[in-house]
Chain A
Amino acid sequence: MESNELNSPENEIPPELQAQVAITSLDKIYNWGRSASVWPLMFGLACCAIEMICAAASRFDIARFGMEIMRPSPRQSDLMIISGTVTKKMIPIIVRLYNQMPEPKYVLAMGACASGGGPFKEGYNVVSGVDKFIPVDVYVPGCPPTPQALLNGLIKIQEKIKCEPIKTARWYQKGPDMAEIPVPMLGPDLIDPRKIPLIQNGKKN
């Protein structure tokens, strides 16, 4: 980032110092640092994961956005890229991984399947979009999205990060941490604990 880009517009800096000095707010420089070092979770589900690998390789190179450090452990990562079809057998694990990620955390639903089930939506083992269980920040369309589309989605995440003031961001406030998402269970079909009353009532109908 150019230093004049970091500079807040109301501050006048002498031209000879503009290359060296920027006067900015804490929010801006903090979020600038945060947005340029998003560590994704190394986590591939299906076809989209291959395009994610291509995005990390030399031609597309997500290192340009500070995102090349993919961490296999959810404890060390900020961004979860849901790259592929979410199945009923897999969703308990995805929710557990999401719960294990520290705040602030972001979720990018890559491709049609992660966003809404995609071509496999009608399947008996397919979850109709990962947002049925975990909150999603950015949806990237495509089947699979090209690496360029993924990069665009990552830039959107960066834009979102830059708009989060420290003072009001939820994870810096006092009070309890975000409640964990209840982990779905596998029974005769997938059971979302939040839907248990509905399942019991639905039975009565």
Chain B
Amino acid sequence: MATPAPAQTLDLSARFPGVLSPDTRPGYSGWILDNSNLLVFATALRDELGYDYLSSVTAVDYLPEGKMEVVYHVYKTTGGAGVVFKIQVPRADPIEVSSLVSIYPGAEFQEREAWDLFGIKFTGHPDLRRILMWEGFAGHPMRKDWHEPYFEEEAKPLKSRWPEGKMIMAESKNLYGDNIAYPAGFNPESQIFDPEKALYAALRTYQKDEVGLDTDHIIVNLGPQHPSTHGVFRVAVVLDGEKIVNLKPVMGYLHRNHEKIGERNTFIMNMPYTDRLDYLSSMSNNFGYALAVEKLMNVKPTERAEYIRVMMAEMTRIANHLMAIGALLNDLGAYFTPMLYALEERELLLDIFEAVSGSRMMCNYFRFGGVARDLPEGTLQKIKGLFFERLPRKIEEIDRFLSENEIIRSRGIGQGVLTAEDAIKYSASGPLLRASGIPYDVRRAEPYSIYDRFEFDVVVRTNGDIYDRLMVRFDEIRQSIRIVQQAVKQLPDGPVMALKPMYQVRVPPGEAYGRVEGPKGELGFYVISNGKPTPWRYHVRAPSFINLTAFGPICIGQKVADVVAVLGSIDIVLGEVDR
């Protein structure tokens, strides 16, 4: 999907002579350009060719070649294939690349992540601080020569434990008997500093209102332990009375090193880890990762598996949106009652997940080339009962209870508005983007799997406020029910695995970017293989994380009580934000 179509290939090199050179490494695609041309190229790409949506920015550390690469994926919000371009810089500090924030503001958090994890300085970035780790952490952990305290070997399975099957506590190999390591010469008593300093300095950089009375501004922290931040998320706001004048989300409190662990794991070992990204929608995470690796392996899943995958992904979307609706209502003050209605239906969907995969939440159901096992006996009957009778009725019921409610309407309509231009600018995706009036859905914009066979509408609402984001979720549930109904009717017989089951897959060298329309937005997996059993680079384009780029701009100017409602309407899951 990331591969540019041939016609565009010709266009690009003719349009930018001498600037672009095609990426000729086997299995790679896209364009390589020089850092000095980046801003000019990106501006032309956005303004003249219409690639207005920056999907993903990430870095790759090519340690053996001695270079760092920054990879950009851009798309058109009108649909179609995207453009991949890369900047290569020598791997010697300071590594500097021009920041794209002035052209694509959606790059802000992603560039901060690349700085945090790879140590690439983006010149011209307005607020280049660490984002997942804390300020003052030693080193840039995603670099290939940076080793974690429990490091044993570059790749699993670890020789110390396999094949003999020995049990070894990782603690026993560490100097301090714990998951810690310090730089040489570090003295904890004399070298203490405050990791919060940079955050508060960044918070104070805002335009002061010169008109009116001179008022004191105060800084308020919400979280990380706060009942309405959906986990361990923290928001630091500067308030002028009740009004928000500046806001910075602080994350990383659940940063559990998904990508670093993923690069030590073998390809198949990563499947259960993807479940734990967005833990409310594990099936669609599986889907994205399976698509990316299947693209590398050039495998096509069987027909029956495709249908089962689509069914499971859509059920996940319903389960996730139910949870999102319940949580938003919690945040608006309807404490737990709407949540109970939503969870009742979600439990029924979880029953189906448990039947097919063995686990309620962490399904680990997809495999490269199909799904782990066929639907057990009676499950199809259960799905039919749920999707043809119960769910359509129940969704209308919940909708009837909520959407005409006076409090929801007055808290939602016209509040927390994200305009269409801003939504594209900040790389928002999923319900957040569609509630702002952009009918962009990866299932239609660049159909993957068998979505082109189903009849469904891309849900869109035009006001971009909290209420519309809620309504978009209801509409999407209805569309997902439609898709599952069609899939159940068309479900063919046959095997569910195209390959024979194996412990290790052989993945040819190359890169692949697999993206799916997850319940939260565009979920992308950028995987690079160098022919070994473990991926060289494994990056997740997490929709919750990137949707948060728009969070600050939405909230500035609003009242402090609306922060919680806006956050609820964006619908984040911290497992995915922090990874």
Interface residues of A (CB under 8 A from B): 42-47, 49-51, 53-54, 56-59, 72, 84-85, 87-90, 93, 97, 113, 117, 119-128, 132, 143-144, 146, 185-192, 195-196, 198-200, 202-203, 205
Contact = CB atoms under 8 A, between A and B. Distances in A.
Interface in B322-362: 323, 336, 339-340, 343-344, 347, 350, 360-362
B257 A123 contact: yes
Contact of A198 (B176, B187, B362): B176
B528 interface: no
Interface stretch (B50-58, B69-77, B82-90, B129-137): B129-137
A137 B568 CA distance: 33
Contacts of B225: 43, 72, 93, 97
Interface stretch (B17-25, B101-109, B178-186, B377-385): B178-186
B1 to A, nearest CB: 29
A185 B170 CA distance: 23
A108 B170 CA distance: 23
A72 B254 contact: no
Contacts of A56: 336
A57 B336 CA distance: 9
B360 A146 contact: yes
A125 B232 CA distance: 15
B232 A90 contact: yes
Given A46-B574, A50-B280, A58-B344, A187 B191 contact: yes
A87 B253 contact: yes
Contacts of A54: 343, 347, 350
Query: Top 3 nearest A-B pairs by Cβ distance?
Result: A123-B257, A188-B138, A47-B279
A53 B214 CA distance: 45
Contacts of B189: 196, 200
A124 B255 CA distance: 9
B149 A124 contact: yes
A58 B170 CA distance: 40
Contacts of B452: none
Interface string B409-432: 000000000000000000000000
Given A47-B279, A119-B273, A128-B179, A85 B188 contact: no
B256 interface: yes
Interface in B134-151: 134, 136-138, 141, 148-150
B171 interface: yes
A85 B256 contact: yes
A60 B409 CA distance: 32
A144 B361 contact: yes
Contact of B183 (A90, A127, A188): A188
A50 B347 CA distance: 12
Given A43-B225, A125-B255, 6 more contacts: A49-B231, A54-B350, A90-B253, A120-B256, A199-B176, A200-B189
Contact of B227 (A42, A51, A126, A203): A42
Given A58-B343, A90-B224, A187 B188 contact: yes
Contacts of A51: 360-361
Contact of A87 (B187, B226, B256, B347): B256
Nearest to B196: A186
A188 B254 contact: no
A42 B323 CA distance: 17
Interface in B241-292: 252-257, 260-261, 264, 272-273, 276, 279-280
Contacts of B227: 42, 72
Contact of B179 (A42, A50, A127): A127
Contacts of A143: 362
B350 to A, nearest CB: 8
B567 to A, nearest CB: 15
Contact of A186 (B175, B195, B261, B272): B195
A56 B179 CA distance: 34
B178 A128 contact: yes
Contacts of B361: 47, 50-51, 144
A45 B254 contact: yes
Nearest to A44: B231
Nearest to A70: B227
Nearest to B135: A186
A117 B188 contact: no
Contacts of A187: 136, 182, 186, 188, 191-193
B137 A117 contact: no
A151 to B, nearest CB: 14
Nearest to B134: A186
21 contacts: A42-B227, A45-B232, A47-B361, A50-B280, A54-B347, A58-B340, A58-B343, A72-B225, A119-B276, A123-B261, A125-B133, A144-B279, A146-B360, A186-B136, A187-B136, A187-B186, A188-B136, A198-B176, A200-B188, A200-B189, A203-B184
Contact of A199 (B150, B182, B224, B273): B182
B256 A125 contact: yes
Nearest to A121: B170
A117 B231 contact: no
A166 to B, nearest CB: 31
Nearest to B255: A125
B257 A124 contact: yes
B369 interface: no
Contact of B231 (A46, A124, A127, A192): A46
B133 A121 contact: no
A89 B362 contact: no
Nearest to A85: B256
Nearest to A47: B279
A186 B181 CA distance: 12
Interface string B169-211: 0110001101111111111110111010000000000000000
B575 interface: yes
Contacts of A59: 343-344, 347
A122 B343 contact: no
A72 B254 CA distance: 19
Interface string B147-158: 011100000000
Contacts of B148: 122-124
